[in-house]
Amino acid sequence: MPLLLDICICTCKRPNQLRGALQSLAVLQLPPDAAVTVTVVDNDPVGREGAQLVESLSAEFPLPILCVLEERRGIPYARNRCISEAQRKGADYLVFIDDDEWVAQDWLIRLFSYAQAIGGHSVVSGSVVRQLPDSVPEFYSGFFSRKRRETGDRLNYCATNNVLIPMEAIRTFGLRFDERDPFGGEDVLFFTEYSARGRDRALCGGQGV
């Protein structure tokens, strides 16, 4: 049976950005030895724009796609709902991207292949290239640039904007995103805890994935 990868996107009141992310997933090249599903967690209990968008796209979307509503407002609630949905599906890996990102066609193949090449038990954080509108003055780009990592660099923490997480590690360590501060910083805490508790399981990143 192929391994199951669940790509999860949390969203709230950003249907245009979410549409771009989903359009990039619609033309994704898939790993030959894996099954892929998509989960969208809409964190807007009133407007439900994300849920409406997914419903409009689902009939022709090339991957199994599910949208669930998380009524508790705050990103850790939405991310923990992603964990719950991935567990319910029996996923082997949870893959996070943000709703304002789009991915290269070979992105998942590169991310998953690298994870498998280093044993399949490690969190792998891929690179994110920021693109600013043409109207933004060039000197502002320095404020948004990030240090480029070498593939295989060991990390103490990472963000959830391009990351593959073995569900095995989540189950083993009982990991969840900290809900005490629902508006920021919990992803750093989550991966810091993973790094501290899973010393035999690398947390890696790099340009090539």
The larger pLDDT score, comparing residue 195 to residue 172, is at 172
Pick the CATH number of 3-206 from 3.90.550.10, 3.40.50.300, 3.40.50.970, 3.40.1000.10: 3.90.550.10
Mean pLDDT of 106-112: 95
Which pLDDT score, from 0 to 100, does residue 85 have? 98
User: Using an 8 Å Cβ cutoff, are 80 and 63 in contact?
Assistant: no
pTM, 2 dp:
0.85
CA distances from 146 to 24, 44, 107 (A): 23, 30, 19
pLDDT for residue 200 is more than 90: no
Break the chain into its structural domains and give their ranges.
3-206
pLDDT for residue 187 is more than 90: no
| Closest to 117 in 3D by CA, of 155, 164, 82, 149 | 164
Amino acid letter, residue 83 = I
pLDDT level of residue 23 (50, 70, 90 thresholds): very high
Assigned token pair, 194: 């993973």
| CA-based torsion, 162, 123, 172, 35: positive or negative | positive
Mean pLDDT of 65-91: 96
d(CA 204, CA 151): 8
pLDDT level of residue 131 (50, 70, 90 thresholds): low
